[in-house]
Amino acid sequence: MGGMASKAAPDQHEIARPWLNHPDGKWSPRPQIPFDCPVSYGIEESPVDFELDVRELGDANAASHPEVQVSPVQPIRLSFDLMVSVQNLQHIPDWSGVLTWKRLHELYAELSELFGPSIDLKAPPLLTPQEVLHIPEALWSYHAKSICAAVQVWLQQAVQHCPHHVLEAFFSNHAPASWSSTEFPHCDVLCLPLVTHISEYLGDPLDLTNFFRLSTKSIAETSSQICAMQWKCIFQEKWPVFYEALSYEPRKLETDWEALYRQMCLGKREEILEVFDREKKIGFSMSCMVAKVSWEHSSKSYVANYVSASHVQPERIPAEQKHRLRFCPAGTARDQLQPEIAPPGAAEIYPYRVLKGYDGVALGQGVELQWKMQMGSPFGWWYGKVERLERNGATAAVTLIFPHFPTNSRWYRLRVIVGDGVVRRCAIGGYHGGVRAVTAEEEKVWNQFTPKQPIMF
């Protein structure tokens, strides 16, 4: 037709590639591109010669550094176990398994002993059990990951310093990853905060032993400090006065409360204590006498062997009367008399020593007087009140009254010279030492033993 331009005939090259000029309609059928269509990438291809040097590759692998990977056993909580993977160790196969914090400290101690101060390696960057206890639950995951990152760097350095025989012994003593606690839930280590909460409900020694000693090895190994704290609480609740005596700081003893609990139950632990109202006899009213005290499990009572110049039968004090027991009074008496110096088997214990000074003694003040009937006996404490005080430098003349006696009794009033640490005879008989003022709390204790009626001899 004249109005239409004639279409140029396609050349031979376009006919060979019909898919190039095909209309791009959505529903237009397209011819299939043949699979043998040549494709050009715009570069000239030519064969390349390639040769693999196996010898050099082997040397490169041998010279590669050890690789260490550390991750939490369970990332959502804190645990004393770490999942560790070590590769490329010379002469040692690749290893993967669980390491405890304790074992990392043992490795550091072994390296320190082997190399001494010349080793450039610090202690493992781990938290102490006390620090773990104060970490909020919301931060467990964060601290677990940060600890693993720090331990990974530390272990990488330790592996580089460590001799082959030490590494081989170290990793050979640990179970592989297939034995980890992730596959055996009963071997899983409870995180310390959870163990603490559980232990608060364990007030019986048998329950405590079953949980911390017999449940799983992992709990027994990682919860020793929490277990020790719980034994301490149980001991303090059952025998508070013994606890006070054993906790007295100048003793400088390493206290194993579980072992002490066992000794107490077996009657093998004896401490120097003081007993109010000795033998419940009228002659020892408002006094506190020294005795070697132990616990008798069969009778559920304390056995008090009084220290005296004459033979005295032991007294059994029921457990419900434990308020009759006390340790050497705190303050100047404990500081001067030093009850920790002499063990219970010594011939001269602190009640034989005389208290010096008279600090805190004032008119109307309740006081305890060191007094004894026989020269060879230790002093006991006898409660009275200050009626008159005459100061004379280092010494003072103190007139005491004992309100539990009638006013016409020869035991009601006594004048003593105190302050210089000298033993003196008393007008009522016997011998006296020093005097100490009692605190408000001690006053309340003494009031528990005040006789309802004046004592008549």
Mean pLDDT, contiguous 10-residue spans, the chain (457 residues): 49 54 53 53 46 46 70 69 82 79 83 76 79 72 83 85 77 52 39 51 60 55 66 88 88 77 92 95 95 95 94 95 95 86 64 94 96 94 97 95 94 96 95 96 96 86
Question: Is residue 7 in some structural domain?
Answer: no
Same domain, 180 and 68: yes
Q: Determine the pLDDT at residue 31.
A: 54
Give alpha helix (H) positions in 247-376.
257-265, 332-337
The number of angstroms, rounded, from the C-alpha of 443 to the middle of its chain's C-alpha atoms is 35
Containing structural domain, residue 103:
64-184
**Whether residue 205 sits in one domain with residue 129:** no
What is the CATH classification number for the domain harbouring 160?
3.30.1520.10
Radius of gyration (Cα) for the chain, nearest Å?
42
Q: For position 362, which CATH number holds?
A: 2.30.30
Place of tokens 């027991």: 325
Classify residue 115: in a domain, yes or no: yes
Cβ pair 277, 287 in contact under 8 A: yes
First to last CA, the chain: 156
User: 288 - beta bridge partners?
Assistant: 276, 381
Residue 40 forms part of a structural domain: no
> Same domain for 177 and 77?
yes
Identify whether 399 is part of a domain.
yes
User: Which residue, of 234, 264, 295, is where some domain finishes?
Assistant: 234
Instruction: Say whether both 354 and 416 belong to one domain.
Output: yes
Query: Which pLDDT belongs to residue 357?
Result: 94
What percentage of the chain's residues is helix, strand, coil (to nearest 5)? 35, 20, 45
**Same domain as 175, residue 70:** yes
CA separation for the pair 363, 396 (Å, rounded): 13
Residues 134 and 220 in one domain: no
Written as one letter, the residue type at 368 is E
Task: Let me know whether 226 and 170 are in one domain.
Answer: no
Residues 168 and 79 in one domain: yes
Considering the domain architecture, whether residues 126 and 227 belong to the same structural domain is answered as no
Same domain, 69 and 148: yes
Same domain, 147 and 124: yes
Contacts of 20 (CB under 8 A, 6+ apart): 14
Q: Is residue 87 a contact partner of residue 70, using CB atoms and an 8 Å limit?
A: no
| 168-173 own/partner pairs: CB under 8 Å, 24+ apart | 168/91, 168/92, 170/107, 170/110, 171/86, 171/92, 171/95, 171/97
C-alpha 191, offset from chain centre: 15
Can you tell me the distance from the alpha carbon of 276 to that of 65, in angstroms, rounded to the nearest whole number?
Answer: 74
What is the count of structural domains for the chain?
Answer: 3
Strand-strand pairing, 271-276 and 325-326: antiparallel
- Cα separation, 121 vs 177, in Å, equals 27
**Nearest-angstrom CA–CA distance, 447 and 450:** 5
> What pLDDT shows up at residue 101?
79
Residues 163 and 76 in one domain: yes
- What pLDDT shows up at residue 202? 59
Residue 223: per-residue pLDDT: 58
Structure-block tokens of residue 183: 């596959």
Asked if the structure places residue 455 within a domain, the reply is no
Examine residue 288 and state whether it is found in any structural domain, yes or no.
no
Per-residue pLDDT, 8: 53
399-418 burial code (b ≥16 CB/10 A, e <16): bbebebbeeeeeebbbebeb
